């Protein structure tokens, strides 16, 4: 079975083609193509993702990304690329998007694909909407069924790929940490899952990005802060000031990062000058606060739910200090299998969406084809 996945929930325009073999309960996934077009450059001047710019860019990028994904998968051989120049570089009202893709779809030949899966939420609604409209138009053109997938279930499903597959045992806990989400999810099996904790305000990656901005570091700030924090540890620079560990003893599995961000802001405002050494110290103390909170909550969830596996997804797991601390949980819980997807699958991509869609067909889980910004795990 060949599945095409489409992901546009935030600032990545992504399309993947995967092949699924084996029986339904024990599938073997193979990537035929995996294309991700990041919009970081378009949002950088604003210090964060701007929903209407994301929408405009998805409308423009989707045809390019589709052609590249089909081409890499060997499903189309040549294509009149000049047709892509006809797509306007401006913010198009929703009612006009299909019209501006119509010449492009005219050129798409019959393709051997069995199913199209598109992210329907959670995410930025204008951005989600473009992917859904594109998927529907492609499905109509090719006569292929289109189904929806939950972005967060995609992050969880990404561990089904590659070498991790053998090791995943249920029950499991998933820790999802990205620019848009901070969630702990309990999975009895692929069918039965429950969100047990989430951020009550900023997502963890968002907190990294906002604090980076206070330190005049470019967007996205997570990797920048993490570089400074690593340097601070190496050079033994630490801050003579403690930031809070918000909600660390709240007795539930929820997170909060907004107070921490404000604490950093007030601290910086109290200083006559922000030297390079202060920046190093702030980055390290801020990162330590985040890591301590995440590890503490995850550890409590493990103690309460006794999972056999811990799945970690989302761009913030690129943070090496956090990753080290997560892997270290094995010293307390030696039986726990800790699963982190391969690097290109930790950040937003469409391979995970194609897999999540496949699981939906097995689990008979149906999502309406409409943008649901606050879609929850069910
Ligand atoms: O999953 P992702 O690529 O996109 C979504 O937000 O869905 O995650 C991006 C987030 C950004 O907020 C970025 O600053 C953060 O992940 N991030 C990091 C690191 N690398 C990326 N945060 C901390 N340390 C890092 N090394
Ligand atoms: Zn994501």
> What pLDDT, on the 0 to 100 scale, is given for residue 241?
96
Q: Among all ligands shown, which has an atom nearest to the Cα of 155?
A: 2
Omega within 30 of 0 (cis) for the link into 16 = no
Question: What distance in angstroms lies between residue 318's CA and the mean position of ligand 1's atoms?
Answer: 7
For ligand 1, pick from 150, 176, 179 the residue to mutate: most ligand atoms within 8 Å of CB.
179
pLDDT at 77 (0 to 100)? 75
Distances (CA, A) of 28 to 21, 24, 31: 5, 9, 10
Per-residue pLDDT at 81: 67
pLDDT at 258: 95
**Which ligand 1 atom is at minimum distance from the Cα of 220?**
14
**What CA–CA distance (Å, rounded) separates 215 from 232?**
15
CA 3 / ligand 1 centre spacing (Å): 27
By most ligand atoms within 8 Å of CB, the mutation choice from 315, 347, 349, 353 for ligand 1 is 315
pTM of the model: 0.91
Q: Are 371 and 40 in contact (CB under 8 A)?
A: no
| Partners of 313 in beta bridges | 176
Pocket test for ligand 1, best of 316, 325, 373 (most atoms within 8 A of CB): 316
347 lines ligand 1 (CB under 6 A): yes
The percent helix, strand, coil of the chain (3-state, each to 5) is 50, 20, 35
> Which residues have a Cβ under 8 Å from the Cβ of 123 and sit 6 or more positions away?
8, 9, 10, 151, 180, 371, 373
- Does residue 123 have its Cβ closer than 6 Å to ligand 1? no
Which distant-in-sequence residues (6+ apart) come within 8 Å of 162 by Cβ? 342
Q: Give me the pLDDT at residue 163, please.
A: 63
Taking the CA of residue 155 as reference, the ligand 1 atom at the shortest distance is: 1
How many residues does this entry show for the chain?
A: 378
Q: How far is the CA of 150 from the centre of ligand 1 (A)?
A: 19
Whether the CB of 197 sits within 6 Å of ligand 1: no
Q: Tell me which residue of 312, 287, 292 sits closest to 207, measured CA to CA.
A: 287
**pLDDT given at position 103:** 84
Output the pLDDT for position 44: 87
* 341 CB near ligand 1 (under 6 Å): no
Q: What is the DSSP string of 97-141?
A: HHHHHHHHHHH------SEEEEEEESS-HHHHHHHHHHHHHHHHH
Distance 243 CA to ligand 1 centre (A): 21
What pLDDT is attached to residue 87? Answer: 72
> Ligand 1, residues 13, 205, 211, 212: which to mutate, most atoms within 8 A of Cβ?
205
pLDDT in tens, the chain (378 residues): 999 999 999 999 999 999 998 766 678 889 999 999 999 889 888 888 899 999 999 999 999 999 999 999 999 877 766 667 777 777 777 778 888 888 888 888 889 899 999 999 999 999 999 999 999 999 999 999 999 999 999 999 998 886 656 668 899 999 999 988 899 999 998 889 999 999 999 999 999 999 999 999 998 899 999 999 999 999 999 999 999 999 999 999 999 999 999 999 999 999 999 999 999 999 999 999 999 999 999 999 999 999 999 999 999 999 999 999 999 999 999 999 999 998 889 889 999 999 999 999 988 889 999 999 999 887
What DSSP element (H or E) covers 289?
helix 276-305
Question: What is the 351 CA–ligand 1 centroid distance (Å)?
Answer: 18
């Amino acid at each position: 079975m060949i599945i095409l996945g489409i992901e546009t929930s935030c600032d990545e325009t992504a399309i993947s083609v995967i092949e699924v073999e084996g029986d339904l309960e024990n599938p073997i996934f193979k990537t035929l193509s995996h294309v991700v077009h990041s919009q970081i450059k378009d949002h950088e001047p604003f210090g964060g993702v701007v929903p209407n710019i994301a929408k405009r860019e998805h409308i423009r990028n989707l045809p390019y990304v589709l052609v590249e994904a089909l081409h890499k998968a060997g499903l189309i051989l040549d294509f009149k690329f000049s047709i892509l120049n006809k797509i306007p570089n401006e913010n198009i009202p929703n009612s006009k998007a299909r019209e501006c893709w119509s010449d492009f779809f005219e050129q798409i030949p019959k393709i051997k694909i069995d199913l199209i899966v598109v992210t329907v939420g959670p995410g930025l609604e204008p951005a989600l909407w473009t992917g859904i409209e594109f998927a529907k138009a492609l499905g109509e053109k090719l006569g292929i069924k289109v189904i929806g997938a939950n972005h967060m279930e995609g992050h969880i499903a990404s561990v089904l790929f590659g070498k991790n597959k053998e090791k995943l045992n249920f029950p499991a806990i998933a820790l999802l940490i990205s620019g848009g989400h901070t969630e702990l999810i309990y999975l009895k099996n692929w069918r039965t899952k429950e969100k047990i904790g989430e951020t009550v305000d900023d997502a963890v990656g968002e907190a990294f990005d906002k604090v980076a901005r206070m330190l005049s570091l470019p967007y996205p700030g997570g990797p920048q802060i993490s570089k400074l924090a690593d340097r601070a540890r190496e050079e033994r620079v630490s801050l003579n000031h403690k930031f809070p560990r918000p909600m660390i003893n709240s007795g539930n599995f929820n997170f909060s990062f907004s107070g921490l961000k404000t604490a950093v802001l007030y601290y910086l405002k109290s200083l006559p000058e922000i030297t390079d050494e202060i920046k190093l110290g702030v980055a390290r103390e801020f990162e330590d606060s985040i890591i301590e909170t995440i590890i503490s909550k995850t550890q409590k969830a493990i103690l309460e739910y006794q999972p056999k596996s811990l799945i970690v997804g989302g761009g913030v797991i690129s943070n090496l200090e956090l990753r080290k601390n997560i892997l270290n949980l094995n010293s307390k819980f030696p039986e726990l299998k800790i699963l982190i997807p391969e690097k290109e699958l930790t950040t937003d991509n469409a391979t995970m969406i194609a897999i999540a869609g496949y699981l939906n067909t097995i689990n008979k889980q149906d999502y309406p084809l409409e943008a649901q910004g606050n879609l929850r795990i069910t």
